[in-house]
Chain A
Amino acid sequence: MADITHTAPTEDRQARRINWGAVSDHAVLIAGALFMMAPLVMLIQMSTIPDAEIMQTGPSLEIGNQFWPNVKKALLGAMSFSGEDTGLSMFRSSMILGLGFAVGKIVISMLAAYAIVYFRLRFATFAFWLIFTTLLLPLEVRIVPSYEVTQKLGLLNTYGGLIIPLIASATATFFFRQFFLSVPDELVEAARIDGAGPVKFFIDILVPLSQTMIAAIFIIMFVFGWNQYLWPTMITTDESKYTLVQGIKQITQSLEGTHIPEFGRSNLLAVLAVLPPVAVVIFFQRWFVKGLTESDK
């Protein structure tokens, strides 16, 4: 009896006690989330206010009514005199770059990885090193000669010249090789006994089996392709083929000058430039995280 009367208040006190550890955890996370989110919110807030006002006051907590007019301007208005680099046309070019790069890279690297992993090939080791040395040097360090080669091949201002040189690295090939190596050997053996040749095995078994991997790589490659900046800036001078990310340069330059800077439109173009890759990353989060964290092994 005595025990019970003594323990009751103790339990009570514990229940009422605030878990300061959890509170501080949340505080840190909320601060982090704010740090990451604030710029995006700011860009959008600014776009709801008339440009002339923003030029004076900058971002605030006020919500104006200029959002939709600015969206329209961003999508349809051109950045330059030629009038060919509207938000929509840049969006289209970015899509072509992102999708073309992701698809091209996946197809080419899957085929190569398949050849390396599943065939007895005399020069396999040599091919392997030839391909995997490319992991060592990012495009940025060989940018000038790459430009010259592309120019010599007459590929300036073409989507081919934009996309193909970006594919010249083995990241995805390496990833698919790792994945194929992790597929149990018995599967190809069972398939061979079941009468499947190399082409049939690839199409009937390996590709369907790789679905998750393909999705993961696709997301990472799409984001990578879409976000390219230096290479498009060098290769594409034709304004009708400008991408959104490349257009950021024009956008920032337009904010300088004597006239009223068009913050509303610029900010929305910047938002448009991050929208598709961000959407892909958020909606396919699980695959994306899997692809990202497993690609290093």
Chain B
Amino acid sequence: MKRAGFDSRWLPVFLLMPQLAIILVFFYWPAWQALQSSFYLEDPFGFGSTFVGFENYLRLFRSSEYLRTAGFTVVFTVLVTFFALSIALLLAVKADKVLHGARTYRTLLMWVYAVAPPVAGFITLIVFNQRWGPLTEFFALFGWDFRVRLDYTDTAIAMVIASVWKQIPVNFIFFLSGLQSIPRAVREAALIDNRSASARFWTVTFPLLAPTGFFLLIINTTYALFDTFGLIDTILRNNPGDNPITLVYKVYVDGFRGQDIGGSSAQSVVLMVLVLALTIFQFRMVDRRIHYT
């Protein structure tokens, strides 16, 4: 709030109205419905529903399929986050260092930000084409018969590679801007204090980038959990079969295809709680971040 704000009574209400209306209708109403129907078992043909308490949730945690999906989601998220962050950090550190062509490198490394996840999935299908896909051929060099969509692990690896490729730019941009915001004087002080470039990186640069890293950790986790949907759906060509899927994908599959509204809603609520926890964690980190800088 500004210290000398306007006093008008109806204008702010009028200004807030569109946003509030949209949020109430398209956010709170659906969120409430998800919460509500997670306690009901709906007849698949739409003939009413019965209150079942926590049955939908219990069913979830008893379902080996759900637990397998949850397990894969965790592994997938960890791998994507780790590789996307470390590759981007390496590239950002180098891009921050070079004197020539910095702009060109930056552009070449960031454009993928704008690529839609399904397109990344489409590209994955081509590079892993069974007959001549360049990456299939690459793995064949090591005697690995790489079979996307036919082999669980191979599909998972392809998904991770594609998701990392798609996520590198965001991390790169943030790391680079984080590096560039380190004051020159600090770098010069480090230069005087320490001979070894790698020691300088790990003792000065890296800790100063930690706040950015924490923030990106959350961003990448959310990305791996939710934004990879289009990528996964394209790779699976809309037909998961025995292939690995993530939790969000399962919400969609169960709710839309399986018509298991109650189960799907319970899954939504579980995800909501997960995101909530992540966000609270993030706010904590943002708080701490202020102390860093």
In the complex, are the beta carbons of B168 and A36 less than 8 A apart?
A: yes
In the complex, are the beta carbons of A141 and B12 less than 8 A apart?
A: no
Evaluate whether A144 and B256 lie within 8 angstroms (CB atoms) in the complex, with A25-B98, A36-B109, A277-B114 already known: yes
Instruction: Flag whether B129 is at the interface (Cβ < 8 A).
Output: yes
Instruction: Collect the chain B residues with CB atoms within 8 Å of residue A43's CB.
Output: 123, 126
Instruction: Collect the chain A residues with CB atoms within 8 Å of residue B8's CB.
Output: 119, 198
Instruction: Collect the chain A residues with CB atoms within 8 Å of residue B33's CB.
Output: 145, 148-149
Instruction: Collect the chain B residues with CB atoms within 8 Å of residue A120's CB.
Output: 1, 5-7
In the complex, are the beta carbons of A137 and B97 less than 8 A apart?
A: no
In the complex, are the beta carbons of B237 and A144 less than 8 A apart?
A: no
Task: Write out, one digit per residue, whether chain B residues 94-130 have a CB within 8 A of any chain A CB (1) or not (0).
Answer: 1101110100011111111111111101110111010
Evaluate whether A143 and B252 lie within 8 angstroms (CB atoms) in the complex, with A111-B18, A293-B174 already known: yes
Q: How many residues of B contact A (CB 8 A)?
A: 94
In the complex, are the beta carbons of A189 and B12 less than 8 A apart?
A: no
Interface residues on A, range: 35 or more
In the complex, are the beta carbons of A192 and B4 less than 8 A apart?
A: yes
In the complex, are the beta carbons of B94 and A25 less than 8 A apart?
A: yes
Q: How far, in Å, is B252 (CB) from chain A's closest CB? A: 6
Q: How far, in Å, is A11 (CB) from chain B's closest CB? A: 21
In the complex, are the beta carbons of A29 and B98 less than 8 A apart?
A: yes
Instruction: Flag whether A209 is at the interface (Cβ < 8 A).
Output: no
Considering only residues 176-219 of chain B, those with a C-beta below 8 Å from chain A are 177, 197, 215
Instruction: Flag whether A188 is at the interface (Cβ < 8 A).
Output: yes
In the complex, are the beta carbons of A111 and B265 less than 8 A apart?
A: no
Instruction: Flag whether A63 is at the interface (Cβ < 8 A).
Output: no
Instruction: Collect the chain A residues with CB atoms within 8 Å of residue B122's CB.
Output: 248, 251-252, 266, 270
In the complex, are the beta carbons of A142 and B30 less than 8 A apart?
A: yes
Evaluate whether A249 and B115 lie within 8 angstroms (CB atoms) in the complex, with A138-B275, A148-B30 already known: no
Known: A245-B116, A248-B230, A252-B122. 19 other contacts (CB 8 A): A32-B90, A42-B134, A115-B15, A119-B7, A124-B1, A131-B20, A141-B271, A143-B252, A144-B34, A144-B256, A146-B30, A149-B26, A153-B25, A185-B2, A188-B4, A230-B233, A245-B118, A245-B230, A282-B107
Residues of chain A whose beta carbon lies under 8 Å from any beta carbon of chain B: 21-22, 25-26, 28-29, 32-33, 35-37, 39, 42-43, 46, 56-59, 108-109, 111-112, 114-121, 124, 127, 130-131, 134-138, 140-150, 153, 164-165, 167-170, 173, 185, 188-189, 192, 197-199, 201, 223, 226-227, 229-230, 234, 245-246, 248-249, 251-253, 255-256, 263, 266-267, 270, 273-274, 277-278, 280-282, 285, 289, 292-293, 296
Residues of chain B whose beta carbon lies under 8 Å from any beta carbon of chain A: 1-8, 11-13, 15-16, 18-20, 22-23, 25-27, 29-31, 33-34, 37, 87, 90-91, 94-95, 97-99, 101, 105-119, 121-123, 125-127, 129, 131-134, 165, 168-170, 173-174, 177, 197, 215, 222, 226-227, 229-230, 233-234, 237-238, 248, 251-252, 255-256, 261, 264-265, 268, 271-272, 275-276, 279
